[in-house]
Amino acid sequence: MRLIQKGLRMPRFAANLSLLFCEYPPIKRFAAAKLAGFNYVEMLFPYELDQARAKQEIERNDLTLVLINTAAGDWNAGERGFAAVPGAQDRFREEFEQALQWAHALNAQFVHVMAGIAQGEEAQMIYIENLRWAAEQTSTQQLTIEPINPIDMPGYFLNNFSQAMDILKSVNAPNLHLQFDAYHAHRIAGNVLNAWQNYGNFAAHIQVAGAEGRHEPVNGAIDYHAFFEQLDREQYAGVVCGEYFPKGRTEDGLGWIHSTG
């Protein structure tokens, strides 16, 4: 369900603190983001932080934490979550309960449920079952699923938008939404605006990065000026998060916000 608010103008940009402001220790990135002008942040995996300190930094800097992910497992060993992984149902539920506790403690708007490395009909059934279970655990916490392109993340179960639509319809939960990453949409579908027109009605959160290279979203294959103008016309009321690898110092590369906004 698209988030609509009459009269709203873009942009409402967020900073992904797992990729941006890496010049600073993770706990100090909240203050760095606020100093750079952000009111919204997301963090993929906050679980190594001291939770009380993280909460203090978010509140002290008057920030809104938009999104966290469920834990991926051992990233270096190739794990990318567990929601669709056969035989990992208990592990998934444990990791989801952890994410839910963190989301409640830090007042995160969304929890992105990572599918993991899997394939086939059994994985599809397990994914749907786990998502239904997750959505039933809370009526207030909003959840997302995100198609991730198979070039950047080979073997990831959820790797296209039509598949995501089938899963959302099968789960049919009011608190489960599409997470639309424009960089992944470019690599999956080729045309971001067409992908948005086809699937954006189900999106509750957007992420952006430049193509190619996944750096600042400017001067690349994706026309972000046109994309943000489209969001304006539709009065999209969600947040757009920069999830990219800065070419240099994070603060030196934030001009894209003003040139595209």
Cis ω for the linkage preceding 246 (within 30 of 0): no
Instruction: Output phi, psi for 139, to 5 deg.
Output: -95, -10
Residue 10 in tokens: 């873009």
Q: Residue 233 contacts by C-beta under 8 Å, 6 or more apart in sequence?
A: none
The reply to whether 146 belongs to the active site is yes
- Cβ neighbours, 10 Å, residue 85: 24
Catalytic residue among 146, 216, 229, 251: 146
Tokens 């919204």 correspond to 40
Active site (annotated) includes residue 121? no
CA–CA distances in Å: residue 179 to residues 1, 107, 143, 158, 182? 11, 18, 9, 12, 10
3-state helix vs strand vs coil in the chain, percent to 5: 40, 15, 45
Residue from 126, 53, 35, 114 nearest 82 by CA: 114
**Tokens coding 234:** 């539709």
The crossing angle, in degrees rounded to 10, of helices 224-234 and 192-199 is 20
Please report where in the chains the tokens 């709203």 appear, as a residue: 8
Residues forming the active site? 146, 243
